[in-house]
Amino acid sequence: MKRAIYPGSFDPVTNGHLDVVERARKLFDEVIVAVAHNDEKQPLFSLKERLNLLQQTVGKIDNVRIAQFDGLLVEFALQQKANAVLRGLRAVSDFEFEFQMALMNRKLEGNVETIFLMPKEEYTYLSSRLVKEIARLGGDVSKFVPSLVASALGKKFKG
Ligand code: ADP
């Protein structure tokens, strides 16, 4: 059984994340989308809201499961019997941080491999941060996120 963890904040899930999940689920028997608990980034959506949005979008896909985790990612991976951690790589700007994280995780646990997937070109500029910024300023985010997420963003910034 080849199982991979796709960790992140998912605040909120975007079409870029969905693209990565779609690619990953063809390579692995099971993909666990894991929402980070101990988020220092002060998320817009609560953990529960982020899990809900994921559940209603990617959670319905056959070999995809949604989970939450806190503590060390590699420990969570071992606990779930996963042999890979998936990360999306958009641009060179993602590389340095991801490179550091991947090598540090390898030092901590040599049996978990980090795998990078590149999204469709049209998603390479897409981030949860930008989507939130556009929504906050009243822009249309419907091309960047599932409709459910677009309306959740609308509600957050209404009034
Ligand atoms: P984190 O806070 O851990 O970076 P994110 O939710 O922002 O969490 O992203 C989770 C993962 O998804 C990261 O590997 C990130 O690079 C990747 N990702 C985010 N947006 C995209 C996108 N548009 N295309 C491909 N990968 C993406």
Domain CATH code at residue 48: 3.40.50.620
In a domain, 23, yes or no: yes
Is residue 2 annotated as part of the catalytic site, yes or no? Answer: no
Give 13-50 pLDDT, tens digit per residue. Answer: 999 999 999 999 999 999 999 999 866 779 999 999 99
In a domain, 36, yes or no: yes
Are 14 and 126 in contact by the 8 Å Cβ rule? The answer is: yes
The pTM (predicted TM-score) of the whole model is 0.95
In a domain, 153, yes or no: no
Closest-CA residue, ligand 1 atom 27, reads 88
Give 109-130 pLDDT, tens digit per residue. Answer: 999 999 999 999 999 999 999 9
Pocket of ligand 1 (CB under 6 A): 8-10, 14, 16-17, 20, 87-88, 90, 94, 119, 123, 126-128
Total number of domains in the chain: 1
In a domain, 16, yes or no: yes
105 HSE (CA, 13 A, CB side) = 25
